[in-house]
């Protein structure tokens, strides 16, 4: 007889193998979402995109929007020329902002962000004047001070957004920065495990003390170690019975709220199991 865990694994492997190879890596990251929830899967897919991909996409969107609008009198030239102008300026802005943020890391972040925001406005203004001088931007040169104040309303917010992305990415914990334990070296019995979340080839383990451990392993193996105190409630989540604060219905899905105020999805194929164990 097929158990819910076996059914989940078969369905998950089938879904991944049914996709094209280039999408499999992104599909493997879809583990936080309630099963069969397309909107949550889309969020997980976007989160899996690399920083480089986000920046390239940002440059292209910026160039398309400003080219289509013919912003700042660029409507006097052909669309492809306009697109080349805005792509060049967008790429320079992102590249210079990112490099400045990473090079000036000795400066405290709030001050660094303020300095770079102002500095980028001046730098872009100088670059625009140079592009006018060489004929790439078909426009007469402007007084540099007037141009800086003219560009300030657009460069300042764009720079700030780029800096926020860099700030988030630089503070986001990376697997390489964590102490990764092997499954055999983690003492499953002595640690008060509250929940376990599978992510790629690692398990993020939340303890009742609020601490977090990272173990190299599989969720099904963790569920076996901890079968006496909790249940695997989702393809990628296990939770201790004693840590369950409440169970809510949200639309078509059900979620668990733990005593640590952590939201854990319940897989639809697990509903029957939870009812048989008197969780529901």
- Rounded to 5°, the CA angle 175-177-180 comes to 60
Range of lowest pLDDT (12-26, 63-77, 172-186, 202-216): 12-26
Within its chain, how far is the Cα of 114 from the centroid? 25
Residue 181 has phi, psi (to 5 degrees) of -100, 155
Q: Report which of 191, 228, 185 is spatially closest to residue 212, judged by C-alpha positions.
A: 191
pLDDT of residue 168: 75
Measured between alpha carbons, how far is 186 from 15 in angstroms, rounded to an integer? 31
Domain 176-276 belongs to what topology?
OB fold (Dihydrolipoamide Acetyltransferase, E2P) (2.40.50)
- The answer on pLDDT for 54 being more than 70 is yes
- The answer on pLDDT for 181 being more than 90 is no
Tell me the mean pLDDT in the region 177-186: 70
- Rounded to 5°, the CA angle 70-73-79 comes to 40
Q: Read off the tokens for 261.
A: 């105020």
Measured between alpha carbons, how far is 35 from 44 in angstroms, rounded to an integer? 12
pLDDT in tens, 128-149: 999 988 988 888 888 889 889 9
pLDDT of residue 28: 39
Range of lowest pLDDT (9-13, 90-94, 166-170, 238-242): 9-13
Classify residue 8 by burial, with Cβ atoms within 10 Å: 0-12, 13-18, 19+.
buried
Measured between alpha carbons, how far is 35 from 57 in angstroms, rounded to an integer? 29
pLDDT of residue 47: 45
pLDDT of residue 209: 84
Tell me if the pTM is above 0.95. Answer: no
Q: What is the pLDDT confidence band of residue 116, given thresholds at 50, 70 and 90? A: very high
Handedness of CA 50, 53, 59, 63 (dihedral sign): negative
In the chain, CATH 2.40.50.1020 covers 176-276
Distance separating the N- and C-terminal Cα atoms of the chain: 23
pLDDT in tens, 214-263: 888 889 989 999 999 999 999 999 999 999 999 999 888 999 999 888 99
H or E element in which residue 200 lies: none
Residue 198, beta-bridge partner list: 203
Which residue would you say has higher pLDDT here, 75 or 10? Answer: 75
- The answer on pLDDT for 17 being more than 90 is no
């Amino acid at each position: 007889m097929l158990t819910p865990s076996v059914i989940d694994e078969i369905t998950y492997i089938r879904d991944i193998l049914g996709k094209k190879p280039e999408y499999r890596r992104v599909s493997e990251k879809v583990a936080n979402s309630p099963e069969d929830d397309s909107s949550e899967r889309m969020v997980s897919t976007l989160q899996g995109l690399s920083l480089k991909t986000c920046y390239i996409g940002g440059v292209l969107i910026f160039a398309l929007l400003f080219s289509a609008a013919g912003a700042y009198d660029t409507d006097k030239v052909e669309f492809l020329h306009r697109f080349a102008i805005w792509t060049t300026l967008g790429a320079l802005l992102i590249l210079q902002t990112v490099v400045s943020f990473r090079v000036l890391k000795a400066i405290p972040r709030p001050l660094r962000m303020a300095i770079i925001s102002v500095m980028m406005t001046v730098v872009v203004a100088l670059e625009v004047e140079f592009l006018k001088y060489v004929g790439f931007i078909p426009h007469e040169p402007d007084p540099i001070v007037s141009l800086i104040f003219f560009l300030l309303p657009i460069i300042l917010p764009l720079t700030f957004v780029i800096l926020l992305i860099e700030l988030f990415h630089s503070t986001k914990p990376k697997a390489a920065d964590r102490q990764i334990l092997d499954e055999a070296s983690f003492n499953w019995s002595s640690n008060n495990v509250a929940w376990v979340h599978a992510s790629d080839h690692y398990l993020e383990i939340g303890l009742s003390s609020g601490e977090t451990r990272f173990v190299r392993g599989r969720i099904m193996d963790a569920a076996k170690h901890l079968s006496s105190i909790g249940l695997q409630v989702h393809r990628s989540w296990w939770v201790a019975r004693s840590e369950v604060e409440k169970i809510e219905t949200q639309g078509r899905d059900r979620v668990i709220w733990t005593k640590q105020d952590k939201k854990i999805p319940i897989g639809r194929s697990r509903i029957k199991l939870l009812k048989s164990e008197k969780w529901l």
